[in-house]
Chain A
């Protein structure tokens, strides 16, 4: 049997965090959130570029499973994660996660579901253009995506 060494390293970080001065949690969180607002404009641009790139990938899909194209699409979908939240679009964030889940599952099983992917692409477009606070519209859209995931027995973490 191989040997196991168990020890408790001392983290310099723990000592630093307790040093006098610093800031309160409330101040720090507020400052960080204000900082993030400065990225929103760039976030919108990248979001729209990402959606446009995914439209182009979708246009290249055929009727049969194409592993390389699904992988390319997955890469684009993953890069979208985080941008919708930055822009205050939580429903779109949820839909982007759903698309990642679906593409990962398709890639793993080799099964093709063009309709399921198309529903996601359309949902992303719809949710991108929803006015703030339109949760009543977003909810049935997200419910539809959940049903697509259920068809593939995907247990999303969302």
Chain B
């Protein structure tokens, strides 16, 4: 569900240490203005992958926001390095990759680099915050194998892709009429209230 920009819900980014990687000065400025607006205070600004690696080696990071960088996708390679050689605990840190445009040749690299999310530019505060909150809330399983290290990529259940028929044992997409009356509010409340049971 999309984050409501007028929400009164509270969150606290003040203690988080955030590494930001963007080789474009204006891109970095935009990112800094967004994350400081969201309340972050401890920022590492890196213009190159080498700087970012150095920061990762010397500090414990709570969140990484890395641009894909050049069309060659150096930013994706940085995330791959982080997952395999970043050392604990940074190897597992939440990563949001930002990309102005993903060339067709880079799609697989983007998908397999090990980022939690790839956010398409232009960046907006509400989308960045939404992704950060999602990552923290969903606690996706982490997969480590020869071919991939990173959060489980199968985190959305969107049904079969277009053109792929449903499985024989899938329920039909149409929902029929209700066969029983709705639960009363008391019955609904009863499902949530704590009960003492004797074992």
Q: Specify whether A and B are partners.
A: yes
Residues of A within 8 A of B (CB): 2-9, 11-14, 16-26, 28-29, 31-36, 38-39, 42-43, 46, 71, 74-75, 77-79, 81-86, 93, 97, 100-101, 104-105, 107-108, 157
Q: Looking at chain B, what size class is its interface with the partner chain?
A: 35 or more
CB distance from B107 to the nearest CB of A (A): 11
Distance of A26 Cα from B37 Cα, bound (Å): 11
Residue of B nearest to A97 (CB): B101
A35 adjacent to B122 (CB under 8 Å): no
Instruction: State the Cβ distance, A19 to closest chain B Cβ, in Å.
Output: 4
Q: Is B87 an interface residue (CB 8 A)?
A: no
Closest to A25 in B: B7
Contacts of A39 in B (CB 8 A): 26, 29-30, 33
Bound complex: CA A28 to CA B16 (Å) = 15
Name, among B34, B37, B62, B123, the residue most crowded by chain A CB atoms within 10 Å (CB to CB).
Answer: B37
Is the C-beta of B14 less than 8 angstroms from some C-beta in chain A? yes
Is B34's CB under 8 angstroms from A35's CB?
Answer: yes
17 additional contacts (CB under 8 A) given A32-B33, A36-B37: A5-B144, A6-B144, A6-B152, A8-B139, A8-B142, A13-B63, A13-B94, A16-B14, A17-B11, A18-B11, A18-B12, A32-B38, A33-B125, A39-B26, A39-B29, A78-B100, A82-B27
A86→B126 contact, CB < 8 A: no
Number of residue pairs spanning A and B whose beta carbons lie under 8 angstroms apart: 181
A9 engages B89 (CB within 8 Å)? yes
Inter-subunit contact A35/B33 (CB<8 Å)? yes
Secondary structure type dominating chain A contacts:
helix
Distance in angstroms from B126 CB to nearest chain A CB is 5
A157–B107 CA distance with the chains assembled, in angstroms: 13
A59 to chain B, nearest CB (A): 22
CB B28 to nearest CB in A, in angstroms, measures 11
* Binary A-proximity of B87-99 (CB < 8 A = 1, otherwise 0): 0010011100000
Q: How far is the CA of A81 from the CA of B140 in the complex (A)?
A: 30
Given contacts A9-B92, A16-B16, A86-B30, contact A29 B104 (CB under 8 A): no
Say yes or no: B10 contacts A11, CB within 8 Å.
no
**What residues of chain A lie closer than 8 Å to B133, measured between beta carbons?**
17
B7, B101, B120: most-surrounded residue (chain A CB, <10 A): B101
> From A46, which residue of chain B is reached at the shortest CB distance?
B26
Chain B residue at minimum C-beta to C-beta distance from A19? B12
